[in-house]
Amino acid sequence: MKIISILFFIPLFATAGDGWVGSGGELFKDAHNPWFVKNTKEVQYCVSIDRKSISVSEDQIQNKIKEAIKYWKKELSKTQGNKTPGYFSMGQQNFVKTECTNNPDIKFKFGYKSLTQEEIDFLQKPERYIGISVRTNYDRKNLKGKGFVYISSDIGPKSYENNGQLVTKAWSKPKLLLFTLIHEIGHVIGIPHIGNGLMGQNFLNQLLNKFLVDSFTRLPIESFIRPDNQFQVCEINRRIKTFVFNLTPTEDCLDILLNKDKNTYTLFAMENGERTRKVGEILNLKAEISDIKSLPISTLYIEKKQNVFNTNETLFRNFMFGPLMQDQGYKAVLLLKEGNLPYKVYIRVRPNSFALYGTYKKATIPFFIKQSPLALLLMKQPTP
């Protein structure tokens, strides 16, 4: 069956006169399903480039596609092993490059002339898009899609529309191309527009904003689903460094390591980028039920005739949930190697941030907060 759907949250508007607009309550069904689930072990893709309208070499494009795929495989590997009924794993297929003449599962198309006339007719005006993922076929029985990812021309008459707020020749900056591919491949694996970050609806316009672009090129590619098992925190109040963590004047950061088996965090002091010693541990983590904001990153709509998941997996429902984006508060104990009695603490774990709160001089304060550079940038008001 041939289906064409754009992997965006596009409102279906009902109008009854000038100024009357209705939106919400759309019945998307499988429009945002992942293109591939567990029965697809290998995904074939090809790359087509209109070289006269793209400011980056073919080798760089190929490398950034591989990096974007690797990013999502790493992110989604953090959620593997969840056998909870009603939930499904996603994004662990083996991606293999082939020729476009082989009619692969995904065609990556760069630049206006890489599009067929049928694709141009569907997009109507490709210059309106910086990047877009379009599913053109979907097998509802085997839950497998096929389609193309279009990355707009960034030079020439058919380049993305620019009202003066966007940078020109965007793809000559490798980080911008990588961010864009991560965003679009996120749609392919089943993640709709979520929040205000990497998968936000306005992310690509923010990414190419000429007043923010230099900051984007320096940003690290941070976690989207769950935090990495190891991270560093350097923005710590001087008094907390000295009187809580007992750091020396030359120890400037904490290196924090998650022990997944024991569900504990180990804290190490750092000096000039190197570990110096173990400082302590965060132990006895207990999820605060009233402070759970974790949400699934994808929903899989299924019909009775599908033959991929059995009823024990679906719980007889017509939908399943993908992995949860972690946003959870925990009560815990901070046990320091040196110092006084253990601290009762509260931690807040999000995919791209980590906060530790405790009591100091009878006041509850943040001992440290590892913030998301991307979130901070997107809250920034673009100024010339």
The answer to whether position 206 is within a domain reads: no
Task: State residue 9's pLDDT score.
Answer: 36
Residue range of the domain that includes 339: 230-372
- Helix, strand, coil: what percent of the chain each, to 5? 25, 35, 45
The domain boundary residue, chosen from 160, 191, 222: 191
Q: Are residues 284 and 360 in the same domain?
A: yes
Cβ neighbors of 182 (< 8 A, separation 6 or more) are: 68, 71, 72, 198, 221
Based on the domain organization, do 10 and 141 belong to the same domain? yes
**Does residue 174 sit in the same domain as residue 74?**
yes
- Is residue 347 a part of any domain in this protein? yes
Residue 275 and residue 126 in one domain: no
Closest C-alpha among 93, 117, 5 to residue 45:
93
Q: Please indicate, yes or no, if residue 200 is contained in any of the structural domains.
A: no
Determine the Cα–Cα distance for residues 178 and 220; give it in Å rounded to an integer. 11
CATH number, domain at 179? 3.40.390
Q: Scanning the structure block, which residue is given the tokens 């009775």?
A: 304
Helix (H, G, I), strand (E, B) or coil at 271: strand
Cβ proximity of 243 and 360 under 8 Å: yes
> Do 297 and 246 sit in the same domain of this protein?
yes
The pLDDT value recorded for residue 10 is 33
251 and 181 in one domain?
no
Question: For the chain, how many structural domains are there in total?
Answer: 2
- Measured in degrees and rounded to the nearest 5, phi and psi for residue 202 equal -100, 10
Return all residues near 107 (Cβ < 8 A) that are at least 6 apart.
Answer: 45, 46, 47, 48, 100, 147, 148, 149
Residues 282 and 145 in one domain: no
* Cα–chain center distance at 19: 35
AA letter at 359: T
Distance between CA atoms of 108 and 123, rounded to whole angstroms?
15
Can you tell me the distance from the alpha carbon of 384 to that of 371, in angstroms, rounded to the nearest whole number?
A: 25
11 and 116 both lie in a single domain:
yes
Q: Where are the beta strands (DSSP E) in 94-244?
A: 94-97, 106-110, 131-139, 144-151, 230-233
The answer to whether residue 205 sits within a structural domain is no
212 domain residue, yes or no: no
The predicted structure's pLDDT at residue 195: 84
CB 187 within 8 A of CB 77: no
Residues 187 and 244 in one domain: no
Of 191, 209, 238, the position where a domain reaches its end is 191
Neighbouring residues of 194: CB distance < 8 A, sequence distance ≥ 6: 200, 295, 297, 325
Compute how many other C-beta atoms are within 10 angstroms of the C-beta atom of residue 31. Answer: 18
82, part of any domain: yes
Q: Are residues 174 and 242 in the same domain?
A: no
Mark whether 147 and 240 lie in a shared domain. no
Domain final residue, candidates 161, 191, 221: 191
* pLDDT at 266 (0 to 100): 96
Segments of the chain with pLDDT less than 50: 1-16
- The Cα 164–Cα 159 span in angstroms is 13
CB atoms within 10 A of CB 45: 20
**Domain for residue 218, yes or no?**
no
* 247 and 164 fall within a common domain: no
Q: What is the pLDDT of residue 21?
A: 63
Q: Indicate whether 47 belongs to any domain.
A: yes
